[in-house]
Structures are given as C-alpha cells and as structure tokens.
Amino acid sequence: MKKMMQGLAAKAQGLMVQARNAVNNERGAQTIEWVALALVILFLMAAVSTAMKGNGGDIASSMVNKISELIKRVGSE
C-alpha cells in the first residue's frame, strides 16, 4: 500500500511539474502577439502614408520610419 501511494505521489508531482512548465512557456506566444500588433500598426501607417502622398507625405513617411525603428529595437531584445 505504501509503494502504491508513493507511486501515485510521484505521478502527481510529475503532472504538476509538466503543468507548471506549460504555463511558464508563454514567451513565444507573447512575442507573436507583439509582432502581430507591430504588423497591424505598420499596415495602418502604410495606408495613411498612401492616402497622404500629396499633402503631408513627409510626415507619414517619418512616422512609418520611426515605428519601423521601434519594431527593430523591440525585435532585437
């Protein structure tokens, strides 16, 4: 009976470790979320830049460049 209880305790502990590791392994998912958000912002800025080509195109391209620099800095961390 004692061996059976020890075996069950060991299995339960193993399951707890696996569950904890699965929860702690979210870094990749968070990175994907930030990349997706950055892509949405870039597409919006590209749309604004295209719409403002005649007037204020310099402002829009400057904004796109600054956001691109920000994304590169975030990606390199």
Closest CA to 42 of 70, 23, 77: 70
Domains identified in the chain, total number: 1
Please give, one letter per residue, the 3-state secondary structure of the chain: CHHHHHHHHHHHHHHHHHHHHHHHCCHHHHHHHHHHHHHHHHHHHHHHHHHCCCCCHHHHHHHHHHHHHHHHHHHHC
Domain encompassing residue 36: 2-76
Res. 65 pLDDT band, cuts 50 70 90: confident
Res. 3 pLDDT band, cuts 50 70 90: confident
Query: What's the pLDDT tens digit per position in 12-63?
Result: 787 777 777 766 666 677 778 888 998 998 888 887 777 776 665 577 677 7
Reply yes or no on whether the pLDDT at 7 is more than 80: no
